[in-house]
Structure 1
Amino acid sequence: MSTQQTNTAAQSQDEPRIRRGRTGALLARWGLSGEWLVTAALIYIGFILFVAVFGFLFQPYPHTQMDLFNQLQPPVFMQGGSWEHIFGTDELGRDVLSRLIRGLRLSVLIGVIGTVIGAVLGSFLGIVAAHFRGWVEEVLMMLVDVQVSLPFIIFALAVLAFVGNSLTILIIVVGIDGWERYARLARSMVLTANQQDYVLAVRSLGLGNFRIYQRHVLPNIMGTLIVQATINLPGVILLESTLSFLGLGVQPPMTSLGQILGVGRDYLILAPWIAVLPGMVIFFLTLSIATVGDWLRDRLDPTLK
């Protein structure tokens, strides 16, 4: 075997290991590649979910309880801090740790529900476009093109500014974000599945379209849609954080990570911990979810094998 053939064979063997998502490629430049990174991301996500679900049991104070005699008290790891308020207090003397626990719970809830809304809506419209074809497909794909061409943050700001910023409307708005990705993906996979032998066989046996999609098509495309939802989840969390940071998202007395971050921006010099701590939680949470999403795509996407 020639040297060129040997190099080609070695390259083809290494190619599956080299291929990775954008997050994995970026982390690889920093020397942070390997399965241990995915393990660390899964551990962090598990910890965040545990805090979001059961954190209220360990919450030291009510998140709205004010102590005006202990305003802007630093965290325990800074000079002047105390164990009474481990992460310090904010401008109204509220315990930052308690607000982080409560804000994390709401941010995760909005992110998960919003992602489910976008996945269900986009996948349904993609399946409808692939099934009916013709003018139905053209109209739906035109809506997809409009969604892609319009910066969604502008649309979200306009809706929340004119309609209102209740929690229900906020969840619906963040849920609409990204539906076009699911629509395109579902449409392409359904078009491919409809040409497969197993679908043609069950259709020739007289099985109805609803049963075909329910029992044969959806189970085969569900894995890819779940991976797409995992990849989109960080964007939904960041969108909620951005809207709350701008004051058009979660409103007091409720709190979210973005809302805490928005309040803390006015105290970056006097009390940086108010903004830095929720910012770190958001950063590592979205990074961990994106890392796991890239890992799942590398394992489940047949085009990357």
Structure 2
Amino acid sequence: MILVIMLVITACGDHPTSIGGPKPTTGGFSSHSAAHSFSPSSSPLSVSISSPSPSSPSSIPHQPSPSANPVSLMQVVTLPVSIVTPSFGGEVVTFHYPKTVSVTVPVEWASQLQAVGALGFVILTPKGWSGTAQEGADGSKRVILYPSGGSAQHGPRILLNTSSACVGCAWFAAAPYFSWVRQHFASAGWGTYHGPVISGYALSADLRAYHAPNTPMGYHVNGIAYAPFIENPNGHDQILFRQAETILPPGEHSLATVILNNLLPQLENPYV
């Protein structure tokens, strides 16, 4: 059975997980090798984002009018995978992608989506979107996708971030989303946490769906954050952090749901 989590648009409060954090994973999350292959996997979790208003301009031309039926009809579509050429701050990594992917999406989006390969991930976007993909010398990844003529800083866009070998970077990145990270912030050696807290729902101990404050232009910000705890035999325990986020007009919550659900199992996949 699929567990569906409804992410409402009003603030939900931060629901604490166990004070001990998620069940530790022994050993490293993944190794950095010179070649990676996209390997989709299923996840028992999904996120559903509510759609209170279709009144905002769409990031997709000729967006269909929302149906009065709150349950969308679904359709399987096969999409070719186009590639965003990445840049590297260190070793050049080769990523391998499938030629096509088959995904189940609401019928209103079936003819308006494309699949984009970036730094090992396959991301669903509206047709015509492109962007940038950067991997740092420390292994961190950042992908920003946006419409033709759009901007990486403003307007509708999709963001994907992963932490690096910088242990402190992951703790600071994960703290706004996970209460167990904030509770153990000082004991991990990072002092008292004084940063923001982003409300949302726990999908599991190390996975959360969230709704961040709207942008100044009124775009809605929804995302998923993944922070597995890594217990290392040498005693230097750490966490990793992965995040996917959509910034879209208020009327496109069903699109955000499609994009995030496609990325959810990829964020949890140690081989991506």
Global fold match (TM > 0.5): no
TM-score, normalising length: structure 2: 0.32
Larger Rg: 1
Structure with the bigger percentage of strand = 2
Structure with the bigger percentage of helix = 1
Higher relative contact order (CA 8 A, sep 6+): 2
